[in-house]
A and B are shown apart, each in its own frame.
With several copies, the nearest count.
Chain A
Amino acid sequence: MAVKNVLEAVRDTLFEAMGRDQRVMVLGEDVGRHGGVFNATQGLYEAFGEDRVVDTPLAESSIVGIAIGAAFGGLLPVAEIQFADFIHPAVDQIINEAAKIRYRSNGDFGCPIVIRVPYGGGVHGGLYHSQSVEALFFSTPGLKIVAPTTPADVKGLLLAAIYDPDPVIFLEHKASYRAIKGEYPEGEFVLPIGPADVKRAGTDLTVVSYGMTMHYALQAAEELSREEGIEAEVIDLRTLLPLDRRTIVDSVKKTGKLLVVHEDNLTGGVGAEVAATVADEAFMYLDAPIRRLAALDVPSTPYHPALERAMLPSKAQVKEAILELARY
């Protein structure tokens, strides 16, 4: 198997999907000749032409709205929102339209679109090139949200998302694009949307995460295993919505402790739902308070590296939080 980074995985998966299925199209700002500001669509324009690789005007609401219409018309559109921070004008089309179409039509219409969204901080992008937006969409039944951060997960879930009959927000952590490398499965490789992935088995506590902080958790868990003999079970949610409560609850029933980590800010984040679920369904198994580690509750990530570091959760903090909870 080839080793690729996350960005290559996105691009190659799009290339494969478009090559195989005429219905797949991509649209967004600069996705055409430019190949995307992160190069995620590089080569598609040359290979598949301007009917299927569409440079849209600078107008996010219409990017999603056009994708919805194209899906009605039988295409399988993959829309790119250039940065997660610019998805907000499209919230109406995503929440009130895409996510409600099947329900409101009593199943007569569906909305098989994918919205690719580069997100996340740690890239000196400041307030508007760093945001995590999962909480914004997390209370939206009808929508699916996936956030894979290994090349294999990216491939398997992006293919699944393209063929999913419902709208999928596909979150790509910008910091993972080049930093995270791994095996890239050849050919048809589809992962189900829904199930979380136990990326590391353990017995002492459960760490639930996704995105870049999941990688921090994995690394910290390895270190703590070596250094302290602490065995953390690390669950990568991968799919945020619908949430795989079962895997989480089962794990906590085994370990008795839960730490949730995410880069999104604390209040109202996905971590709250994970914690609330466990505080209900695994209450009798809990040996310690449920801990959450997340970004500070400030409006967004500041630009200067010193402020940025102070705002985002770090690997060191994740390690410390695991250690502290393990010792509780």
Chain B
Amino acid sequence: MKRTTGEPLKKQAALGERIHTRLGLSDDDLLQMYRTMVTARAFDERAFILFTQGKIPFTVTGHGHEGAQVAAAKCLTPGRDWVLPYYRDVGVVLALGMTVRELMLGEFGKAADPSSGGRQMPKHWGCRRLKIVTQSSPVATQLPHACGLAWAMKVRNEEGIVWVSFGDGVASKGDFHEALNFAGIHKLPVVFFCENNYYAISVPFSKQSPVPRVADRAAAYGMPGISVDGNDVFEVYKATREAVQRALAGEGPTLVEARTYRFGPHTSNDDDRRYRSRDEVAQWKEKDPIPRFAAYLKEIGLLDDQEEAAIKAEAEKEVREAAAWAESQPDPDPATVAAHVYAERGPAHGR
């Protein structure tokens, strides 16, 4: 979508004090971020429809987390930084450069699914090209991997950082502790990014955590812990960027907590009415990061209602077309089921 009038630019110039300029974000950055958020939302909505239609057996969505995800991803440099996202991070992987079509292949578990060729459930992304590390489902296991990657970058003097994300429930696990401890001891260039949506499936945060904030745990690891409103794109961007800068400067890891909410059920198998009141959900929906960001863009004249609708329509079209396309792609060949148990040939060359 191209902008058609110069008007808003003028308006923006008059608003030199606006937060995004202070943060060094350009108009293009903002629009690109907004589009990615809308696309992420549309993607997950489509995935859920595919599930409801019985076209795919399962999905999991990031509804509500898009602001935090896209803001955090904006701080990363694709191809330089290693990224270990978790299953809600559709906004992250889109922002990094995975395409809607690639992601749709994953939803259907198609042969060409770049993450796993249909071996993993949807949303378990991996992509060597973009340094997105292959995900498992057991939670927290990726946190020590992030430390190992950071160790390798450090001793090989490679520029860049490691960004790893996870939910609030994950902070309860042993691997969380062991990883943050190691990163803290060795001041490794890792950004630990927690998307706190206050539930681990049905278990409320108060039964996961004796402290009110995930970030409160950072001090035990000798690292800064920053808790921000995860539905505020700029807060998340600012905190994550500072964390990335600290890491790049050799000052060590940071724990960033983005407080947000998941609007839908845990996965397509879940019924969240069993454990959350509709009131609570409705209250959080008022803080939806997408309309909130849109309001900002409108305020500074970067967006109007018509453009907003157009971006949404465009995103919906893209994901719908991608779904139809992906559905028609070849399924994995059962004859390949025993491939890749071991490497076809050695020796190791770092992969």
Contacts and interface: CB of A to CB of B under 8 A. Distances in A.
**Is there a direct interface between A and B, measured as CB atoms under 8 Å apart in the complex?**
yes
Interface in A98-125: 100-110, 112, 124-125
A155 interface: no
Contacts of B339: 106-107
A69 B151 contact: yes
A62 B274 contact: no
A309 B335 CA distance: 11
B26 interface: no
B22 interface: no
Nearest to B117: A106
B182 interface: yes
A163 B346 CA distance: 7
Interface stretch (B133-141, B234-242, B251-259, B287-295): B133-141
B203 A73 contact: no
Given A73-B82, A85-B137, A302-B337, A65 B148 contact: yes
Interface string A41-62: 0000000000110111111011
A299 B347 CA distance: 21
Given A30-B203, A34-B202, A65-B144, A85 B138 contact: yes
Given A56-B182, A66-B144, A77-B148, A128 B119 contact: no
Interface stretch (B94-102, B172-180, B319-327): B172-180
A19 interface: no
Given A68-B145, A104-B116, A109-B128, A33 B275 contact: yes
A75 B120 CA distance: 26
Nearest to A77: B148
A164 B119 contact: no
Contact of A165 (B119, B149, B332, B343): B343
Given A33-B275, A86-B138, A304-B109, A65 B147 contact: yes
B182 A106 contact: no
Interface in A120-135: 124-129
B341 A298 contact: yes
Nearest to A64: B144
Interface string B121-136: 1001011100001101
Contact of A72 (B58, B133, B136, B137): B133
A96 interface: yes
Contacts of B110: 304
B156 interface: yes
Nearest to B186: A54
Interface stretch (A87-95, A204-212, A256-264, A283-291): A87-95
B337 A296 contact: yes
Contacts of A76: 348, 350
B185 A304 contact: no
A303 interface: yes
Interface in B145-185: 145-156, 158, 169-170, 172-175, 178-179, 181-182, 185
B179 to A, nearest CB: 6
B141 A65 contact: yes
A72 B179 CA distance: 16
B118 interface: yes
Given A33-B202, A69-B151, A103 B341 contact: yes
A61 B181 CA distance: 12
B3 interface: no
B206 to A, nearest CB: 10
Interface string A156-176: 000000111110000000000
A310 B336 CA distance: 9
A306 B117 CA distance: 12
B41 to A, nearest CB: 24
B342 A58 contact: no
Given A58-B170, A58-B208, A62-B175, A125 B182 contact: no
21 contacts: A25-B155, A32-B202, A65-B141, A65-B143, A65-B145, A66-B147, A69-B144, A71-B350, A72-B149, A73-B151, A73-B153, A75-B155, A89-B174, A92-B175, A102-B340, A142-B341, A163-B347, A165-B343, A303-B116, A307-B332, A310-B334
Interface of A: 23, 25, 29-30, 32-35, 37, 51-52, 54-59, 61-62, 64-77, 85-86, 88-89, 92-93, 96-97, 100-110, 112, 124-129, 141-142, 144, 162-166, 242, 296-299, 302-307, 309-311
Given A59-B173, A75-B151, 9 more contacts: A29-B203, A56-B203, A72-B145, A89-B175, A100-B136, A107-B344, A112-B351, A128-B137, A163-B347
